[in-house]
Amino acid sequence: MDRVEAVGGRDADIGRHVTDRVGKLVGETLANGGVLLFRALRDGDDGSDGALDELRRAYARGDIDDEEFDRRRERLDRD
């Protein structure tokens, strides 16, 4: 085998190695993007009101009484 073939063979191996790495990187990027999209859709807005949920939790913990709960709930309903 002459020197040109030996160098060309080595370059071809390096090219395949780079191509494999780039392909793997693209695949991982697409997979991670898919996971992020899935999580965003799954954890998206479910139509609940975060402020009202927190108010209910405060009431359940006993942090506020019935009157305070009703006053704050009415205010949230207006907004």
Query: Tell me: the pLDDT tens digits for 8-67?
Result: 567 677 778 888 899 899 999 999 898 888 888 887 665 567 899 999 999 999 999 999
Q: Of 8 and 76, which is predicted with more confidence?
A: 76
Task: Output the pLDDT for position 43.
Answer: 74
Q: For residue 45, is it left (φ>0), alpha (ψ between -120 and 50) or beta? A: beta
- Does residue 5 register a pLDDT over 60? no
Task: Output the pLDDT for position 73.
Answer: 95
Kindly give, in sequence order, each residue whose CB lies less than 8 Å from that of residue 73, ignoring residues fewer than 6 positions away.
52, 55
- Does residue 78 register a pLDDT over 90? no
